[in-house]
Structure 1
Amino acid sequence: MTFMQAATGADTLLKKTLMVVGGSMFIAIAAQFSVPFIPVPLTLQTLAILIVGLSFGSRLGALTVVAYLLEGAAGLPVFANGGSAAALVGPTAGFLFGFIALAYIAGFVAERTTNVFAMIGGALLASVVLYIPGVAWPMALAEMFAIEGKWVASSASTIWTYWVSPFLLGDAVKAILAVMVVAGGMKALRKG
């Protein structure tokens, strides 16, 4: 049972809809806390998405991220750099679409365990998986459209140095924080 199932009781379409809308707004607000980095900004999106996934479960967490992406594609200023459909095909699109897997994996783990260490492991795994589409997308985009950019023909060490390593510590901290928030909420529900 996920945190939100325990907190809100029976699942109804109205509750699920409100959770998706509220969760996507939570992610959008977190995206506005941004530190400019090259090639992608450092934001609190991943923290919010992990909290949503761990709280809502795999399917509802992933659906919430899909709603968030659709809001951005419609032009709502929900992404770190505003909102537009162009963000879903730009160099950071792999991370945006990877957010779906981030929420799904975190939710999948939360549906199966309340063990804090297992949840931290799942949140860390989900954070690592995010880098697969995040790094693969700009490389594929550059090759497909013959775009010149720093990522074109980059070595593994360059990708590691600029696209991955600057974010790993922050992602680990965010994964642990997300689990602590959700585990703390579950503990408070049990006592209440």
Structure 2
Amino acid sequence: MTLTQAAFPNRSILMNTMLVLAGSALLAASAQVSVPMFPVPMTLQTLVVSMIGLAYGSRLGAATVLAYLAEGAMGLPVFANFSAGMGPLTGPTAGFLWGFVGMAWLTGFMVERGLDRGFGKLFVAALIPALLLFVPGVLALKAVTGMAWQAAAMVGMVPFLLGALVKAVLAAMAIKGGWTALEQR
């Protein structure tokens, strides 16, 4: 069971829509907390994607990220540095942006399969998909820029590994705190 399923056991279409909108808004805000690096900026998006997957589950988590990508594709400035349009979805960061869908889905899937409670389980459910995000991220970075594999890994993965670990810890702590608050209610 996910945190949102426990908090809202009789979720309606309206409630799911509100959760998707809230999640995509939080994801858009997290994209603006950015350390400019080229060609991939360091943002808080992976933290929020992990939290969405941990709290929403696989289907609602993936739907939330897809809504975020659609908002950006339609021209809303939701991507890093208030960018929008198809450029970010086809450029050097495309693998990360599209990979967020799989990351949210896999994180939610792991939660739905029993990694839903306790810091350790939540940490594993957040960390593994976050590390797997580097696969499409580095692949697209190499394909779009023509960089060698080592260069693509050096700019698209290595600087972000410690951050992935820290963000998995923070996501697990936040969702564990949500469960604790819900149980005390």
TM bin, normalised by shorter chain, reads over 0.9
Contact preservation (8 Å) 1:101, 1:129: no
Structure 2, unmatched stretches of 5+, are none
Equivalent residue number for residue 125 of structure 2 = 122
How well do the aligned residues superpose, as a CA RMSD in angstroms? 1.3
CA distance in 1, matches of 2:86, 2:33: 21
CA distance in 2, matches of 1:181, 1:118: 13
SS at match of 2:39: coil
Equivalent residue number for residue 135 of structure 1 = 138
SS at match of 1:84: coil
Shift of 1:188: 1.1
Give the partner amino acid of 1:138. L
Moved over 3 A (4+): none
Please give the residue correspondences for 1:101-112 in structure 2 after superposition, counting only pairs within 5 Å.
101-111=102-112, 112=114
Equivalent residue number for residue 45 of structure 1 = 45
Shift of 1:177: 0.3
Seq. identity, %: 46
SS at match of 1:159: helix
Question: Could you tell me the TM-score, scaled by structure 2's length?
Answer: 0.93
Structure 1, unmatched stretches of 5+, are 142-148
CA distance in 1, matches of 2:130, 2:166: 11
Query: Which of residues 162, 168, 184 is equivalent to 1:175?
Result: 168
Cα distance per residue 1:2-24 (max 9 Å; x no partner): 11111122121111111011110
Equivalent residue number for residue 13 of structure 2 = 13
Give the number of the structure whose alpha-carbon radius of gyration is greater. Answer: 1
Please give the residue correspondences for 1:1-192 in structure 2 after superposition, counting only pairs within 5 Å.
1-81=1-81, 82-111=83-112, 112-113=114-115, 114-141=117-144, 149=145, 151-152=146-147, 154-156=148-150, 158-192=151-185
